[in-house]
Structure 1
Amino acid sequence: MLLLALMWGLSIPVTKLGLLTLPPLTLTALRFAIAVPLLLFLTLGKQRLPMRALPRIAALGALGIGVGQVAQAFGVAGTSASVGTIISATIPVFVVVFAALRLKQPVPGRQKLGLLAAFAGIALVALGNGDGASAVSATTMVGAGLMVVSALAIAFYYVWSVELTHEYGTATVAAWSTLFGFIALLPWTGWEMWHVPVHLTVEAVGAAVYLGLAVSVAGLFLWLNILRTVPAGIAASVQYLQPVFGIAASSAMFGDEMGVLFAVGVILVLGGLALTMTSRSKADEAP
């Protein structure tokens, strides 16, 4: 669990590192060019995907990568690594809310309070990390907004994928949805590479390899193994550790400064996460 929290917690700072020399779409495409073959290899011997499932899987991939991961890459480019890390930590909050809405369940007051706290925290971390920051660490409202769009899209991707993974298996859905999302991304990446200078440095390639191998492939299967061997309530604690590692890495790599507003925002986001996760745990225990 500590290893997973570290791997996923470093994803935003590493993305920021890759974006120093690569444009967002190119970095995202390179990341999934590494992840897709490995994910497909892991489906060997697994349940085959029927043709009737392809439209839903393709739409899932377009949402998860074409919207979620692309918005995240552009959002990280417009925020400091620490702000991006905190906003991405709200994904579990939105997962809980979307899951409740999808199942036509009422959203408890505690979850509503958690959602409000998370949004208030997002506003504060964005406002508390803008003035006086370096070009690398500067945060814009557009960048913060794109990170919120990314969190919403990825959360909905997780919720939507539940029914598909029950039918066809997690590895199969993850591999094929990622493939379709990657294919949909390629024309836009080609356009970007034609119009924007691309500098393929060692740091950029290393960032893409880390994101593709450690975050998208190893992290996914490590998480699934944790869910099989550790009670869900304990496994969920990974969500609290990710931003801790991410903020520490952001400070070490880019010198991100943590002001009072930023600190209060972090507390609100993590508090909102705690409220929604606690509500979910109690709901899971209900008959």
Structure 2
Amino acid sequence: MNNHMKAYLAMIVAMTTVGSSFVVGKWIVEAFPIYLASGLRYGLASALLLPLLYLAEKRLPKVGRKDMGVLFLQSLTGVFGFSVCLLYGLQYTTATESGIITSTTPMVIALISFFFLKERLSSRQWLGILFAVFGIAAIHLLSGDTQEIVPGVPAWVGTLLIMAAVVGEALFTIFGKVLSYRLSPLAIATLVTVLGFVMFLPFAIYEAMSFDFTQPTAADWMYIVYYAVVVTVVGFALWYYGVSKVPASTSAVFTGVIAISALLLSYLFLKETFHWGHLAGALFVLSGIWITARRTEARTIEPSASSRMEA
């Protein structure tokens, strides 16, 4: 197996773990309060990433005040904000729809870059964004799935929360571009994970004070471990191995695996109902990813692996 094939396989597995996080997230929010679950996840991930960073770079990075401010914004949007919006969103919508919507991140990055960074978008990028909009619309308009998962809360509330999570992830990636010239991807991922843990800690302690820790089953605890170890740490390592071997525009296409894996795993493990709107939405989003990723290599903002591993 040549290096390119190994890279492709690594990125497929990495993005499949992200797709699986929507299924596992569904199970987690049924067993744990959201802030406590996130605190446990990022605490465990921090405990693994810190020694990994030290072993890989032989030292902990020195971070200036300005860079620390950027890291704080990254963690606030792409770790704390992303996780809260995603887990609350999973309470009000399906894992299938969440995975498809989250796959629109490359197009959202392009749109934010246009409005706030004044970057020019090509006709291909605008077409990719349009396909993403069509995909999200197809999920609701063609599936006819408007049933409330939580009584009294419309299904579109879940969609808006997942979209808010996508915006957080997109901002994470854009902020990360500022640091990418001074800090390694592993250093950025480790530091924002630690900061995310610190942000969640007071809320996690508050929820822990009234939580019955005998209630979760052994499987429930394993979901937390899976979220922290497989999605956050292993998935990160596989993704960055992959993107180090292939062009950024190529790796961006592999983010579509999130939608495919979320779709299949949700049907398999959560027994979610198949809707043609899901298939149509996934095809629109995948087409949008492919069209957007075909832009000129030099103008690509790489979808951040570390943000995706926060999913």
Q: Same fold (TM over 0.5)?
A: yes
Name the stretch that deviates more: 89-98 or 220-229: 89-98
Q: Is the 8 A contact 2:96 2:278 kept in 1?
A: no
Matched residue, 1:86: 100
1:96 to 103, 106, 110: 110
2:27 alignment partner AA: L
Matched residue, 2:162: 147
Indicate whether 1:258 and 2:271 are aligned.
Answer: no
Matched residue, 2:261: 245
Distance in 2, matches of 1:58 and 1:48, equals 15
Change (3 A) 1:197 1:78: farther
Shift in Å, 1:273: 1.8
Distance in 1, matches of 2:183 and 2:201, equals 26
Matched residue, 1:227: 243
Matched residue, 1:209: 225
With normalisation by structure 2, the TM-score equals 0.81
Matched residue, 2:28: 18
Q: Is the 8 A contact 1:11 1:211 kept in 2?
A: yes
Indicate whether 1:276 and 2:289 are aligned.
Answer: no
2:248 alignment partner AA: A
With normalisation by structure 1, the TM-score equals 0.88
CA deviation string 1:111-136 (max 9, x = no partner):
2222232123223324526346877x
1:204 alignment partner AA: D
Change (3 A) 1:164 1:129: farther
Question: Which consecutive unaligned segments of at least 5 residues does structure 2 have?
Answer: 1-10, 301-311
CA deviation string 1:166-213 (max 9, x = no partner):
212222221112111211112222334456766322232112111111
2:136 to 104, 114, 122: 122
Distance in 1, matches of 2:185 and 2:207, equals 32
Indicate whether 1:75 and 2:75 are aligned.
Answer: no
Change (3 A) 1:83 1:15: same
Matched residue, 2:195: 180
Q: Percent sequence identity over matched residues?
A: 23
Matched residue, 1:160: 175
Matched residue, 1:58: 72
Name the stretch that deviates more: 187-196 or 251-260: 187-196
Q: Is the 8 A contact 2:247 2:297 kept in 1?
A: no
CA deviation string 1:53-88 (max 9, x = no partner):
323222221222221121111111211110111111
Matched position secondary structure for 1:279: coil
Question: Which consecutive unaligned segments of at least 5 residues does structure 1 have?
Answer: none
Matched residue, 1:48: 61
Matched residue, 2:234: 218
Indicate whether 1:5 and 2:15 are aligned.
Answer: yes
Distance in 1, matches of 2:298 and 2:177, equals 20
Aligned residue pairs, count: 283
Distance in 2, matches of 1:43 and 1:175, equals 7
Distance in 1, matches of 2:114 and 2:60, equals 29
Matched position secondary structure for 2:244: helix
